[in-house]
Amino acid sequence: MEPIIIVHGGAGDIPQSRVQGKLNGVKASVAAGQQILAQGGSALDAVEAAVVLMEKDEYFNAGYGSVLNLSGEVEMEASIMCGKNLDVGAVTLIKDFSHPISIAHKVLTNSPHSLLGGEGAKIFALGMGFSTVPPESLISENAKNALNDFLKHGEFGRTEIGIKDEGGVGTVGAVAVDCNCHVAVATSTGGMSGKAVGRIGDTPQIGSGTYADDNIGGVSTTGHGESILKYCLAHSIIKLMESGNDANTATKIAVDGMTNRLNNTAGAITLSKTGDVGINFSSNRMAWAYIKSNKIFYGIEKNEVHEEEYVSEKPSCK
């Protein structure tokens, strides 16, 4: 089949000042992933590469530019899943590495475990050859401002509805199906501004932030983490596809179901195993992009789809 990749740059009350930066970022990210797929690379490598680019970009709440916890620290988490055998790699409570998603990928390939946290994750990462960076080097001005805003007027669990939160949104994710019909999903985040030290959200929890199954498809989610994990949003979408819904219908039913039950918002990107696309968000905005048939599609507003020609190497395995 023709390989395909879709990415998101986070759902939430994205202020106008950050719209263009996010759109530029998701377009660059999806192109990086698509290049790997076009050369016959694996879905796992493609989603990692797409997420790495967004972890470098301060317009997203992942890696550099992650939001800060109540102690003013970055605490990041990420997960990656392989739909062939359901293998998982995930990390949480990571403070001083640039690319949590790359450590998660190494957990998938080199650890008997699926999820490592805190000091144990650091020990594993150092053993795999990753280098620490000074924690303060991951902190952006925007993240500092977001924490200050939260400390002034923040209301927990409601970052996506009602108040503006400039830095608190922007979890990133990618879903790909490669030319061997393997599905992979990657998700990475800094969590929510002003979170308690030690707070773990939906991103490293499999079935909440991330799910991939070659028999069905893949999902990456973003939004209010505590609600996403209570609803098992990614797995709910997968199960709706398994029972016959197309990717877009399944994504809409589950995002609406979570929002109606828990009164917080979220978004998700979905691919079926055959490459059908699902995009839905109940938050005000969610940046997304995908590349298919030499076109790049992208958007950030509800009911908005931009479409441009995209010149790339021809997929080697079409």
Q: What residues are annotated to the active site?
A: 171
Q: Name which position in 126, 156, 295, 308 contacts a second copy (CB under 8 A).
A: 156
Q: Which of residues 257-296 bind a second copy (CB under 8 A)?
A: 261-262
**Is residue 72 close enough to count as binding a second copy by CB under 8 A?**
no
Q: Name which position in 130, 231, 281, 290 contacts a second copy (CB under 8 A).
A: 231
CA separation for the pair 4, 305 (Å, rounded) = 17
CA separation for the pair 310, 307 (Å, rounded) = 9
Q: Is 207 annotated as a binding residue?
A: no
**Is residue 84 close enough to count as binding a second copy by CB under 8 A?**
no
Q: How far apart are the first and last CA of the chain?
A: 5
CA separation for the pair 238, 218 (Å, rounded) = 7
Q: Is 89 annotated as a binding residue?
A: no
Task: Count other C-beta atoms under 10 Å from residue 163's C-beta.
Answer: 14
Q: Minimum CB separation from a second copy for residue 163, in Å?
A: 14
Q: Name which position in 15, 21, 72, 118 contacts a second copy (CB under 8 A).
A: 118
Q: Which is nearer to a second copy, 40 or 198 (CB)?
A: 198
Q: Is 222 annotated as a binding residue?
A: yes
DSSP assignment of 273-312 equals TT--EEEEESSSEEEEEEEETTEEEEESSTT--EEEE---
Q: Is 132 annotated as a binding residue?
A: no
Q: Minimum CB separation from a second copy for residue 232, in Å?
A: 4
Radius of gyration of the chain (CA): 17
Give yes or no for a contact between 89 and 108, defined as CB atoms under 8 angstroms apart. Answer: yes
Q: Is 21 annotated as a binding residue?
A: no
**Is residue 144 close enough to count as binding a second copy by CB under 8 A?**
no
**Is residue 239 close enough to count as binding a second copy by CB under 8 A?**
yes
SS3 175: strand
Interface ranges with a second copy (CB under 8 A): 81, 85-88, 92-93, 111-124, 156-157, 195-201, 204-208, 211, 225-226, 229-232, 235-236, 239, 243, 261-262
